[in-house]
């Protein structure tokens, strides 16, 4: 089964607010983004945004150029339905982040909660970094949320790669500096505790 088919089936088989990674609002991400000093017309991309409510909160905060990228059209349809006409101003991109065409040197913020940790093969991790470097402006921001070292070893039946702030910094260090990091416990809709790590980087090269 391809990853696209897997995620299409996930979002077709259960409500979006019952998947393990669901949270009503990405409070940590919102707090980090609010401190970046972005202006409304700064382009922002939410990688793996799918059904997430981050796009709602970005619109509420006045952001004008928002992109949502996800493997699953079904996931994005949840957000589109929820937003109604508000969603017409959002650029919805269906595809694999390691292969999708993105505008060069464009984004002021790249946000990713729980996509990168599904890339367990080194070549896919490098392809992700290449896309990030292609699309993100120098001096811009990269916020990433992954499973922490003591987080689960798989999610939705798929294996994941767990990270510390150090291992993420080492992987991205040639082009990014770590500004801050934050660990937290996510409670799934079924009550399971999962340890997450959030890192905020700034691109300097």
- Which pLDDT band, with edges at 50, 70 and 90, does 1 fall under? very low
Is the model's pLDDT at 118 over the cut of 70?
A: yes
Pair 147, 162: CB distance under 8 Å: yes
Calculate the CA 23 to chain-centre distance: 13
pLDDT value of residue 3: 86
Q: Which residues of 160-177 are buried (b: 16+ CB within 10 A; e: fewer)?
A: bbbbbbeebbebbeebbe
Q: What is the mean pLDDT of residues 118-129?
A: 97
Give pLDDT tens digits for 56-104.
999 999 999 999 999 999 999 999 999 999 999 999 999 999 999 999 9
pLDDT at 7 over 70: yes
Alpha helical stretches, state H, 52-121: 54-60, 73-83
Domains of the chain: 3-13+36-187 (3.40.50.150)
Tokens of 47: 């990688």
Q: Cα torsion for 103, 143, 174, 67, to the nearest 10°? A: 0
Interatomic CA distance for residues 159 and 62, integer angstroms: 37
pLDDT at site 2: 58
For residue 114, pLDDT beyond 60: yes
Q: What integer is the mean pLDDT of 39-48?
A: 98
């Amino acid at each position: 089964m391809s990853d696209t088919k897997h995620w299409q089936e996930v979002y077709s088989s259960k409500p979006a607010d019952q998947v393990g990674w669901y949270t009503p609002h990405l409070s940590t991400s919102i707090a980090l983004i609010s401190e970046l000093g972005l202006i409304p017309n700064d382009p922002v991309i939410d990688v793996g945004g799918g059904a997430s409510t981050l796009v709602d909160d970005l619109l509420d905060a006045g952001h004008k150029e928002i992109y949502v990228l996800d493997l699953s059209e079904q996931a994005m349809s949840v957000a589109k339905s929820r937003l109604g006409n508000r969603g017409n101003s959002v650029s919805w991109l269906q595809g694999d982040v390691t292969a999708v065409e993105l505008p060069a040197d464009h984004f002021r913020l790249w946000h990713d909660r729980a996509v990168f940790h599904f890339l367990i093969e080194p070549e896919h991790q490098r392809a992700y970094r290449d896309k990030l470097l292609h699309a993100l402006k120098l001096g811009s921001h990269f916020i990433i949320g992954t499973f922490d070292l003591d987080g689960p070893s798989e999610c939705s039946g798929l294996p994941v790669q767990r990270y510390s702030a150090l291992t993420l910094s080492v992987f991205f260090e040639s082009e990014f500096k770590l500004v801050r990091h934050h660990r937290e416990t996510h409670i799934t809709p079924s009550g399971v505790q999962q340890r997450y790590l959030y890192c905020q980087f700034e691109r300097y090269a």
